[in-house]
Structure 1
């Protein structure tokens, strides 16, 4: 009888460990937006790709009434891999950057960039900067030196604390947004669902410890009974 109960408890513990482990894996997944399913055209701020409802794209430009001054989806030759997303500025003397708002907890972001040609800007091109925010507070930043060939053959990434907003800029030689329109493609991010993100998912190890505790309590009870 004792052996039967122990086997049953072990099977229950194993079942819950596997189930919770699978749930934890399902909570997090890498999503990539390659813009191939997006319709070419010009869009105002607040654009969402049909490939994902979790990310909202906007330009730092906010004053123009012309959609040409915000976001465009198109084939940009060597500046993208197939279709890509380009950012524009309605002010010819002010560079623009890309804002990405994430609707679910996110702790990883990677994107490829192109059109990093300093000849398009009389103020040069010094850095590519990706800055991450959570609740308006900066939580991380990645900086890459562009190879300045105008071709989409580099990427920038961040992995670390949870964030809900990312800002992507080309920075000129004077530490201002460069007068070059950034193009991005293959935006990949790690998506976490559920209240508080994946950190709230119980671990399989926790269930195993709980089950071992049950086994120990059962064994102690049997010894007391036998006495």
Structure 2
């Protein structure tokens, strides 16, 4: 939820800003609303949404892995009483039962995180592959260097860049806080695994999109689609 709470508003705002920029650049009369250009726009938007689903799934999967390694660090904990010795009659000491319940909760959350993460990552990868194939099939060679493609990578760079700016400091703070700040008995210690997993999932995609954008601009290629202008009145 930490990752989705960051990238969903950024993605919506970025798409609106990009659409507004393209509208003002071309003008209302310069926008081609025929089915083929609209299909291209859908394929790029579908590709980007699929990548967001993929990243969210990877973050959940990483959370599950961290939960399996260190559930206290991942999900948080509150120090409880030290378990007493085993009773003479073999019954469970009063302090042990809550610990077992807590461990069962950790195990359940870990399995849920892994299941949700793997499912989301596979679904995102599958839908991205379908949309990528649709783009490769529909587009001509000239359209693969178009302004729409450049806007797609710019929007992805902005989404994952802003998410990285928000999530990386949060993950570093939560991690250092968990290790360095002691807590009193029965005080809940906030887990750091979810924010750390979100940062681990987002940063590589930000670097990937940024490298593609920089390589595109360094090559000096210009958009090959003609820029339509509104006729003079």
TM-score range, shorter chain: under 0.3
Comparing both chains, which one has the higher relative contact order based on Cα–Cα distances under 8 Å and sequence gaps of 6 or more?
Answer: 2
Q: Which has the larger share of strand?
A: 1
Q: Which has the larger share of helix?
A: 2
